[in-house]
A = this chain, B = another copy of it.
Amino acid sequence: MLREDVTEAIRAAVFEELASVGYARMSIEGIARRAGVGKTAVYRRWRSKLHLVLDLVSAIAVQGLPAPDTGSLEGDLRLLYEVTSRALRHPVASQIIPDLQAEAARNPEIAEALQKALREGQHGVASGIVRAAVERGELREGTDEELALDLVSGPLYWRSVVVRAELDKGYLARLATATAAGLRAL
């Protein structure tokens, strides 16, 4: 029987390695070293670096996010942005996400795992918000959902991850207002 505490130490080490050196530079030896564990323990659980990471990403994907339901489009967006921006503020997340995202451009398996996580996370929640707004009559019946999701998720990602500028007080509220206005124009 594999020891669970060892497994957990390895998982934690992978996250740390992923954040500090990235997927490409990450090595099994480095993971074992950081976890205070023999290489054997790692190989006994996962066949390779790829399997290890895919496993972790899938595990996260399963979690899913809570769906906001404030009764208004703008309120829902505001809540979604609060949660998302808090998650993206964690250094671990903000380092790992773009790293894996870049890696996905080269590795179809990672791409698929990330897509799944995205679909069950951000994408799913945003989709729920938009549909609720349509049912409520806040958005038109024929609203282009794909475009709507891009309008909802794009700006915050751009600012947090690409531009990496800080979000001053009130930014999220104004973003929610502007986004809701854009959605109503669809």
| A45 interface hit (Cβ, 8 Å) | no
User: What does the 1/0 interface line of A92-118 toward B look like (CB < 8 Å)?
Assistant: 001100110111011000010000001
For residue A89, give the distance in angstroms from its CB to the closest CB of chain B.
13
Residues of B within 8 A of A98 (CB): 98, 101-102, 105
Q: Which of A146-174 contact B (CB under 8 A)?
A: 146-147, 150-151, 153-159, 161-165, 171, 174
Report Cα–Cα, A161/B103, bound state, in Å: 12
| A82 interface hit (Cβ, 8 Å) | no
| A24 interface hit (Cβ, 8 Å) | yes
Could you tell me the dominant secondary structure of chain A's interface residues? helix
Check A150–B174 contact: CB distance below 8 A: no
Q: A residues engaging B (CB < 8 A)?
A: 20-22, 24-25, 94-95, 98-99, 101-103, 105-106, 111, 118, 123, 144, 146-147, 150-151, 153-159, 161-165, 171, 174-175, 177-186
Report Cα–Cα, A108/B101, bound state, in Å: 20
**Assuming A158-B157, A181-B185, is B105 touching A163 (CB within 8 A)?**
no
Check B105–A94 contact: CB distance below 8 A: yes
Residues of B within 8 A of A182 (CB): 151, 178-179, 181-182, 185
Check B162–A157 contact: CB distance below 8 A: yes
